[in-house]
Amino acid sequence: MSASREVPIPYRIVALLQEQNRLIGYPPDRLAREIQSAGFRCTRCGSCCTRALNSNIFLLDHEVTAAGTIDPASVVPAPDPEFCDQNGTLYSSGFSLRMKDDTPGSCWFLENGRCRIYDQRFSVCRIYPHMLHGITDEAEPGGRTWQKFARLHDHGSYQGDIPWDDCLELARNVKEYENAVLTQQISFLETVHEYFTVHGLRHDPARYDHRLHQFLAGDPVPVMVYRSGELAAFDSSRTGFAR
């Protein structure tokens, strides 16, 4: 179990708010210089659209409806639910795109190595592999640094000539996406905290481990998923919300 789940929710919210403040204060031109220096260009190799490089493709809250409109079967609860109450219900912070059961674990929309909705692809797909994650710097106690690329040199091509204006726009999009993810996570934690308090629930670590094993194995388990400021029951047997 992740150690972060042992931290009381209010403290986790404060930590995320601090992380969000650091993100907002990060100069976009500094990230743009990193982007221009790397010169990454997508070659549409499809590697990042498989479990070989990414365990899941997380959707922002407002993108869930768009994905469901294209294909209702394309969205599933994110594969890393945060909590499990004493009754055995899991709680997930949002949705990811469904991954196929083929050998590479392809994204639901990947066909013959190409994205079939490329012009409609989602935020994380548009900015990938660029990112801006605050991480602990082990070389300096209490220090922080930034991770700016995911799986560098594992896909695409590098040292391309990218115009500065494009780099700056991408840097701003990266910051916007990362801020949206943090905002959604904070809102999810606030919602779970209130829901648990109102309904007399608590996180059960032992039951969590058992339920998570079932969930990852594809067994039908009760899951509450955060969406649009609320928690809604997801019916895994019907691939949709319970009615």
pLDDT at 237: 57
CA dihedral 216, 94, 209, 84 (to 10 degrees): -140
CB 232 within 8 A of CB 84: no
Residue 168, pLDDT > 90, answer yes
Q: pLDDT digit string (tens) for 56-74?
A: 899 999 999 999 999 999 9
Q: Which of 95, 107, 83 is nearest to 58 (CA)?
A: 95
pLDDT at 240: 47
- CA dist 11 to 7, 8, 15, 92, Å? 7, 6, 6, 19
Distance of CA 232 to the CA centre of its chain: 18
Question: What does the alpha-carbon distance between residue 95 and residue 236 come to, in Å, rounded to a whole number?
Answer: 13
CB 182 within 8 A of CB 23: yes
Distance of CA 189 to the CA centre of its chain: 15
Question: What does the alpha-carbon distance between residue 167 and residue 29 come to, in Å, rounded to a whole number?
Answer: 8
Q: Could you please report the per-residue DSSP string of the chain?
A: --GGGGS-HHHHHHHHHHHHHHHHHS-HHHHHHHHHHHT-B-----GGGBTTT-S--EEPTTHHHHHHHH-GGGEEE-SS--EEBTTS-EEES-EEE-B-SSTT-BBTTEETTEETTGGG--HHHHHTTEEEEEEEETTSTTEEEEEEESSTTSSSB-S----HHHHHHHHHHHHHHHHHHHHHHHHHHHHHHHHHHHHT--B-HHHHHHHHHHHHTT----EEEEETTEEEEEETTTTEE--
Task: Name the average pLDDT for the chain.
Answer: 90
For the chain, the structural domain boundaries read: 3-241
pLDDT confidence band for 113 (50 / 70 / 90): confident
Question: Per mean pLDDT, which range of 17-21, 38-42, 129-133, 232-236 is the poorest?
Answer: 232-236
| Residue at token pair 């494009």 | 166
Q: Averaged over 195-221, what is the pLDDT?
A: 93
Q: What is the pTM of this model?
A: 0.89
CB 96 within 8 A of CB 56: yes
